[in-house]
Structure 1
Amino acid sequence: LGKLGGNELNYSSDIDLMFVYKEEGQTSASAYSCTHHEFFNQLAEMTARVLSQKTQEGQLYRVDTRLRPDGDAGPIARSVASYFTYYESRGQLWERQMLIKARPVAADREFGQNFINQLRPFVYPATFFQSPLKEIARMKWRIEEQKQTGDILNIKICPGGIRDIEFIVQALQLLNGGRLADIRCGNTLQSIDKLLRHNLISEQESSLLRQSYIFYRKIEHLLQIEHDRQTHTLSHEDADLERMAHLLEFKNRKSFVESLDDTRRSVRSMYDNFFKNHQTEPADPLTTLFDSEKLETSESHYLKTAGFDMPETAFRTLKNLAFGHFPKMYGNTTREIFLKLSKPLLHSAAGTPNPLHTLVNFERIAAHYPAIEGLYKLLLDDRELLNALIILASYTNNLTNVLCEDPAHIDYLISHLRDWIQLPQSAVLYDGRNLYTFKNLEWLRLALQEEKNALTQKTVFWQLSEIADTTLQCVFKKYFPDEPIALIGLGKLGGLELSYRSDLDVVFVCDDQFNVDDAIACSKKFLNEIAQTTPQGKLYEIDARLRPEGNQAPLVVTLSRYRDYLQTRAMFWEIQALIKARPVAGDRGFAEKVIEMFHSFAYDRPFTSNDAQSIIDMRRRQVGEKIKKPEDAIYDIKFSSGGLLDIEYVVQAYQMKFAQHFPSLKATNTLEALAAMMQENILSEHAATGMASNYHFLRSLEKTSFLAFERKASRLPNDEKQLAFLSKFLKLQSVAHLIDRLNSVKKENEVFFSSLMLELHHE
């Protein structure tokens, strides 16, 4: 290809190569077996490496294989059928132009020539539906703009230089080669003669092109001989120009420069006349981007301005969206539809916290959808659907994977989007789907509805808990269809306060008459099914260690044994944990008996100053054990002083103190308990609303950390970029604003904890 294909090499030219083999298949030699694709790609890579490797004796040639389909992103060698499929479905004008110079140079030349002959209809179509002149003129304009060719001493790409000559010749070949086989030629000088012979250019034009081309190529040869490198630019130094004038047999530097200027002006004048109706204004960088093999300056600036901080990655992602991945490549129609879609897509992605992350995730979704052309059409016509996909793509990869793992999930989103956005569900509805699919799609629904401001955070936590309840109930029923056993939720599950990826704290309690050994065996199977890792992921992390004696005790506890443990051996924190107890699955009537027994221990006993001191001591111990570094005190939102546990422990202490006289305080949900305390005048409005607001903020940080980074831990990242990302997700002005707000909330929580616990301690 290129100058090698046209028999026009300079002394220091790269050689442009493309490798082709006959067909796909299998090859074997002794014990080794591989596909034709593997064999010929290894052979091509080895050939290119040997030709271009540097040794003590120098280098044979610099090899460039980027003119192949998909450039560096595509395989270095393809079968004949693969080339035809590519050029028929996605071939561009510049590739027709490039293939004019194609010539077999090694291996089976007869096969190579047959391959080139078969490409003739693509290179030289009988009819162009649109004249290629405008596109060629636009390509030349882009070369001049992006290469900043104001330097007229670059004789290759300056206005009126070698490229102008080649573009004139190749444009005439493309326009007329379909009917005139004689002008199908890769050598520029021979092509000029053939164009003259067929009266496609005049004698004067032929003479100008020929003489100018020879003049420029002589300069190139001399430059490359002198510098022993590929260069096309004359020096500005007078002495260097004087030496070049002498080598070219000019009288002096002045006459050489005058001749060079005259040549450049004459060629440019012919170029302008030839393309006079097709001169182009600066094109939209987004449009030109899809014609580029590599990212140019104007396109990089465009992407950076749009918020894509790594424009090279954004460029590759957009190219993948337009062209597909080998071997799943998209056709011209798909590419044209995406070109129209790309502007609203980028505009929508630019409004997300991390536009590049969003774009990459969107491409992953698109790549897994089989009917990509139909999807692009739908997104082009339905901006609400496009915005919904962009919202979901802006979240963690874990949520995006839900749409990638099964195209039916995208179809489900498309068919249910209106209901999701216009009529938010007040309850979780299970329709018998696979539980993994059910949970994952419900998570998508909640993430989307919350972003659309259709659901409050409290409702999101409640519905996440309902999703977990439904999942647990379905699996529990398999192992305990009608037995007197209950699965009791504790912690965030019990409080209907689950976030994404919260662990599920549970205990198994059965009737005294039930066979405990059988119950334990079935409970182990139940836990394994919930927590096992499958190709579809894991349902939940589930923890049964809050049972009496923890891991040291049987998995299932009878009601009487549980009562005996709570009466005789339970520690205070274990009694405190019962406040969150809620029936989740199993025999409902029996579960109510369990909850009644739990409440009797949590609420019916007197709450003393020693109990208040136990909670204070436990918080001090947690802070000491968990907060080891200064940054932990800032970024830990659960265990640090002023963290979530300060609010939860105050609320639970006041529940244990007053619920015996105020039954409305027997709420498993922290915010509901705070509202009840304010209603009963147990807490002031300032304290109740202040703690509720702070609790909401800290839980928002916890939830958003998962949606943004898949962080399960209660510690925020301390990386500046991730904090900036988090700030944008929370719609805060800056990282400084986030940290200031966090510090303010924690200080206020410290005051609430110390003052309110002190009141209980002194009563």
Structure 2
Amino acid sequence: MSQLDVTEPIADIESLRLLKYRELLRITALDVAQVIPYVDILLALSTLADYILRKALAIISNTSDMQWHGKRLPFALFSLGKLGAQELNYSSDVDLIFVCANAEDIDGDMYAYYALLVKMIQRFIRQMEEKHSCGYLYRVDLNLRPLGKSAPLVLPLDDTENYYTVSSDVWERFAWLRARCIVGAEPLGNEMSARLHAYKYRKFLEPSDIDRFISIKEAMQVQRNKSGAWNVKTGEGGIRDIEFFIQVLQIANAGFHPILQQTNTMTLLHNMVNLGLVDAIVAKSIQHSYLFLRRLENHLQMVDEAQVSDLPEELEARLMIAKSIGFTVGNVEQILKEFNQELQQSRDIALACFDKVLLKKSEH
């Protein structure tokens, strides 16, 4: 039921837009009806995005002005973030990094190849984000690429590897923990993944790594204490608390345990139980909390694909959200009481995860 349903040929970007919204309607119906596990809803949203990204690039690459010696341009595209983890939201950006071939591996002029590839990426971004009467495809975020916003849109294999070899930015390692090659030249994608394997999954952590993890935790603490509505993603007891806990455990142990060398949060948690890193009963409560919070965030984003994560404080708006995720029995007061109790339980579990991650520098 959660599998992508493509029955008609898709020959242009407009057809992709129509497919996206038809599939979103189907996935939303499954979500609201609660007829499949929520991990399958997240997977369905991710599978849809994977298909659209691949198909859009195929459509663009097949145009006559995008051919390289009569063939498709060689490149690899990696997804990171929620898409890389195969747990996309209804209104997520898609975090992407393009990688191109080295000069010695190109049949022809490197500058011409590179210019054509940049032109293709620019066209891809424009067509993904272009808004029409039926909507748009996805917001594309390339800011996780080496050197971020100021960098070229794509770097060759060697330059990408060299950048990460000397990088001390632990956020970049966190980002690549969720990386999947989703489209492009398979040998190029496999080579990039192989070269960055040791970068992602180190056998030993340096004291400087621990200090950086602590700094990240302290920065998160500042963010979550900001005034205003509680944010289901970054607020105290939110989604990020659980993800940070799991990613720190992964980055500390994946070098020794290949079953931790993968991208999905809940699969990682299950594998951590098998390794004895997390107690089975604790893991069950973490999974329940995580999926409740992810479902809550998704239902906040269902209306108009709004990229919001703040839980509304107004009674009517909160009641609508509570009902949409299944709290429907009783009067308004009873519904909100049950919803708020479930929310507090989930937040407490997420907060406990966050509190388990390392000590403050003064205590370290």
The answer to whether 1:470 aligns with 2:60 is: no
Partner AA of 1:439 in structure 2: K
The 8 Å contact of residues 580 and 669 in structure 1, kept in 2 or not, is answered as yes
The answer to whether 1:688 aligns with 2:283 is: yes
The answer to whether 1:437 aligns with 2:35 is: no
Partner AA of 1:748 in structure 2: I
Q: Deviations over 1:271-290 (max 9, x none)?
A: xxxxxxxxxxxxxxxxxxxx
Distance, in Å, in 2 between the alignment partners of 1:725 and 1:650 is 31
Equivalent residue for 1:552? 150
Equivalent residue for 1:745? 346
Flag the 1:727–1:615 CA change in 2: closer, same or farther, 3 A.
same
The 8 Å contact of residues 506 and 542 in structure 1, kept in 2 or not, is answered as yes
Provide the secondary structure at the position in 1 that maps to 2:79. strand
The 5-angstrom pairing of residues 752-763 of structure 1 reads 752-758=353-359
The 5-angstrom pairing of residues 270-669 of structure 1 reads 424-429=1-6, 431-433=8-10, 434-480=15-61, 482-513=72-103, 514=106, 515-625=113-223, 627-629=225-227, 631-632=228-229, 635-669=230-264
* TM-aligned CA deviation for residue 666 of structure 1: 1.3
The 5-angstrom pairing of residues 16-55 of structure 1 reads none
Provide the secondary structure at the position in 2 that maps to 1:757. coil
Please give the TM-score of this superposition, normalised by the length of structure 2: 0.85
Please give the TM-score of this superposition, normalised by the length of structure 1: 0.42
Partner AA of 2:323 in structure 1: K
Provide the secondary structure at the position in 1 that maps to 2:136. coil
Higher RCO (CA-CA < 8 Å; seq separation 6+): 2
* TM-aligned CA deviation for residue 441 of structure 1: 0.6
Q: Deviations over 1:567-615 (max 9, x none)?
A: 1235111111100100121112321222222332110352245424422
The structure with the largest alpha-carbon Rg is 1
The 8 Å contact of residues 232 and 239 in structure 2, kept in 1 or not, is answered as yes
Distance, in Å, in 1 between the alignment partners of 2:305 and 2:246 is 29
Q: Deviations over 1:248-283 (max 9, x none)?
A: xxxxxxxxxxxxxxxxxxxxxxxxxxxxxxxxxxxx
The answer to whether 1:704 aligns with 2:285 is: no
Flag the 1:488–1:443 CA change in 2: closer, same or farther, 3 A.
same
Flag the 1:639–1:609 CA change in 2: closer, same or farther, 3 A.
farther
The 5-angstrom pairing of residues 224-263 of structure 1 reads none
* TM-aligned CA deviation for residue 519 of structure 1: 1.2
The 8 Å contact of residues 687 and 752 in structure 1, kept in 2 or not, is answered as no
Equivalent residue for 1:305? none
Provide the secondary structure at the position in 1 that maps to 2:358. helix
Flag the 1:622–1:752 CA change in 2: closer, same or farther, 3 A.
closer
Distance, in Å, in 2 between the alignment partners of 1:614 and 1:428 is 44
The 8 Å contact of residues 77 and 184 in structure 2, kept in 1 or not, is answered as yes
Distance, in Å, in 1 between the alignment partners of 2:209 and 2:97 is 24
Distance, in Å, in 1 between the alignment partners of 2:205 and 2:73 is 36
Distance, in Å, in 1 between the alignment partners of 2:358 and 2:92 is 28
Provide the secondary structure at the position in 1 that maps to 2:76. strand
Distance, in Å, in 2 between the alignment partners of 1:676 and 1:609 is 26
Distance, in Å, in 2 between the alignment partners of 1:644 and 1:495 is 14
The 8 Å contact of residues 606 and 657 in structure 1, kept in 2 or not, is answered as yes
Partner AA of 1:562 in structure 2: T
Equivalent residue for 1:727? 322
Distance, in Å, in 2 between the alignment partners of 1:535 and 1:490 is 29
When the two structures are aligned, how many residues end up with a matched partner? 336
Flag the 1:654–1:762 CA change in 2: closer, same or farther, 3 A.
farther
Distance, in Å, in 2 between the alignment partners of 1:658 and 1:444 is 40
Equivalent residue for 1:674? 269
The 8 Å contact of residues 2 and 41 in structure 2, kept in 1 or not, is answered as no
The 5-angstrom pairing of residues 138-153 of structure 1 reads none
Distance, in Å, in 2 between the alignment partners of 1:497 and 1:743 is 23
* TM-aligned CA deviation for residue 626 of structure 1: 5.5
The 8 Å contact of residues 486 and 591 in structure 1, kept in 2 or not, is answered as yes
Distance, in Å, in 2 between the alignment partners of 1:508 and 1:584 is 11
* TM-aligned CA deviation for residue 483 of structure 1: 2.9
Q: Deviations over 1:99-140 (max 9, x none)?
A: xxxxxxxxxxxxxxxxxxxxxxxxxxxxxxxxxxxxxxxxxx
* TM-aligned CA deviation for residue 669 of structure 1: 0.7
Distance, in Å, in 2 between the alignment partners of 1:430 and 1:579 is 34
Distance, in Å, in 2 between the alignment partners of 1:692 and 1:625 is 24
The 8 Å contact of residues 430 and 438 in structure 1, kept in 2 or not, is answered as no
The 8 Å contact of residues 237 and 349 in structure 2, kept in 1 or not, is answered as yes
Distance, in Å, in 2 between the alignment partners of 1:546 and 1:430 is 35
Provide the secondary structure at the position in 1 that maps to 2:302. helix
Partner AA of 2:83 in structure 1: L
Provide the secondary structure at the position in 2 that maps to 1:580. coil
Provide the secondary structure at the position in 1 that maps to 2:173. helix
Partner AA of 2:181 in structure 1: P
Structure 1 regions of 5+ residues with no counterpart? Answer: 1-423
Structure 2 regions of 5+ residues with no counterpart? Answer: 63-71, 107-112, 328-333
The 5-angstrom pairing of residues 162-241 of structure 1 reads none
Q: Deviations over 1:629-685 (max 9, x none)?
A: 1x44xx211112221111111111111111122111112110011011111212111
Q: Deviations over 1:368-422 (max 9, x none)?
A: xxxxxxxxxxxxxxxxxxxxxxxxxxxxxxxxxxxxxxxxxxxxxxxxxxxxxxx
Distance, in Å, in 1 between the alignment partners of 2:172 and 2:2 is 36
Flag the 1:531–1:578 CA change in 2: closer, same or farther, 3 A.
same
Distance, in Å, in 2 between the alignment partners of 1:427 and 1:456 is 16
The 8 Å contact of residues 548 and 570 in structure 1, kept in 2 or not, is answered as no
The 5-angstrom pairing of residues 39-118 of structure 1 reads none
Partner AA of 1:539 in structure 2: L
Flag the 1:570–1:558 CA change in 2: closer, same or farther, 3 A.
farther
Distance, in Å, in 2 between the alignment partners of 1:709 and 1:699 is 18
Flag the 1:449–1:641 CA change in 2: closer, same or farther, 3 A.
closer
* TM-aligned CA deviation for residue 738 of structure 1: 2.3
Equivalent residue for 2:331? none
Equivalent residue for 2:109? none
* Aligned residues: CA RMSD: 2.3
* TM-aligned CA deviation for residue 542 of structure 1: 0.9
